[in-house]
Each structure stands twice: as structure tokens, then as C-alpha cells.
Amino acid sequence: MEVTIIDFILVNLTSYLLGIATGLLICCKYKDNITRSKSYDNLKQFNHQTQVVQPKWESPILASAPPPSNPVKLTIE
């Protein structure tokens, strides 16, 4: 039996994709255990500060040009 280039590429590509999929599944399953650390939990436990949200005050929209006193008439020839 002869192994062609296409067979070699397909086997390598399949094993690569299966490895990536396995890694993603393990990361999704154990996400809480991987990202959690004791120092973060301790800091979260002692954090009693409340966040103060500053209201955004927006200025009202005002016209910057005076209203026209005479109506403008355009004539197109």
C-alpha cells in the first residue's frame, strides 16, 4: 500500500483539528477552575467599595447661526 501526499495531508489535518477541538472542549468544561485563583477570590472578598456612576450631562442643542431675516430665493436657469 502506497501512501500518497493527499493521504498524508488529510491525516495530519484531521489530527490537528481533533487536537484543537479537544483543547477547546477541555477549556470550556474546566473554564472556572482554570481562570480562578485564590488571590482573586481573596481580593473579591475584601472589596466593599461601591462604584459611583457619574451622570452624563449633555448640553442642549442650540442653533449657532441666527435665523434668516429675509427668505432666500434661488433661481436656476
Domains identified in the chain, total number: 1
The residue type at 20: I
Q: Is residue 61 in a domain?
A: no
The residue range of the domain holding 24 is 1-35
Q: Is residue 60 in a domain?
A: no
Those residues with Cβ within 8 angstroms of residue 4's Cβ, 6 or more apart along the chain or in another chain: none
- Read off the DSSP letter of residue 51: P
Q: Is residue 52 in a domain?
A: no
> What are the tens digits of pLDDT across the range 43-71?
666 666 666 666 677 777 777 777 767 77
- Read off the DSSP letter of residue 69: S
Q: Is residue 18 in a domain?
A: yes
Length of the chain equals 77
Q: Is residue 30 in a domain?
A: yes
**Is the confidence at residue 23, as pLDDT, over 90?**
yes
The residue type at 29: K
Give the model's confidence band at 5: pLDDT under 50 very low, under 70 low, under 90 confident, else very high.
Answer: very high
Q: Is residue 40 in a domain?
A: no
Q: Is residue 14 in a domain?
A: yes
CB–CB of 16/9 below 8 Å? Answer: no
